[in-house]
Structure 1
Amino acid sequence: MSTDVERAAHAYCPRCHPDPRPGEVLTALCGAKYPYWGRRDRPVNQCPACVRLASAPVFACGHSG
């Protein structure tokens, strides 16, 4: 598995990071920090914590999901 797929497996708050640029370090919903390399339509592997947190009505940052 490539590191690009691993990086794309995390979810992030679109209000905290409205327009990420390639290489910009984002904080995922699970708290992991990773460089953004673009969106993937269907990542092969997904972070289970991000999947669970993405379905919450409010993210840890306080923004609504």
Structure 2
Amino acid sequence: MTDEIERAAHAYCPACNPAPGLGEPVTALCGATHPYWGRRERPVNNCPACEAVVAKTVYPCGHTGGGR
């Protein structure tokens, strides 16, 4: 994983992660696992791999996607 993606804001499935606690490890849509530090909208720094998955109608976990 590159540093650019490591520093990026990742997207998470809201059905798989309905209320993660701060610091709790969660898996992003791109497959990266990171501690959860809150939902932030940072469009300039979003993970490009997560953005590609967000655009799909079904996430890899099987839940309905298509928007953040």
Following superposition of structure 1 onto structure 2, how do residues 1-65 of structure 1 map, counting pairs within 5 Å? 6=7, 9-42=9-42, 44-65=44-65
Q: Letter of the aligned partner of 1:60 in structure 2?
A: P
* Distance verdict in 2 for CA 1:34–1:43, change over 3 Å: farther
Q: Deviations over 1:34-58 (max 9, x none)?
A: 0001121325411101001011000
Give the TM-score taking structure 1 as reference length. 0.82
Q: Distance in 1 between matches of 2:16 and 2:25?
A: 12
Q: Letter of the aligned partner of 1:54 in structure 2?
A: V
Segments of structure 1 that go 5 or more residues without pairing to the other structure are 1-5
Residue 15 of structure 1: how far off its partner (Å): 0.1
Higher RCO by CA contacts (8 Å cutoff, separation 6 or greater): 1
Give the TM-score taking structure 2 as reference length. 0.79
The count of aligned residue pairs is 59
Aligned sequence identity (%)? 61
1:3 corresponds to: none
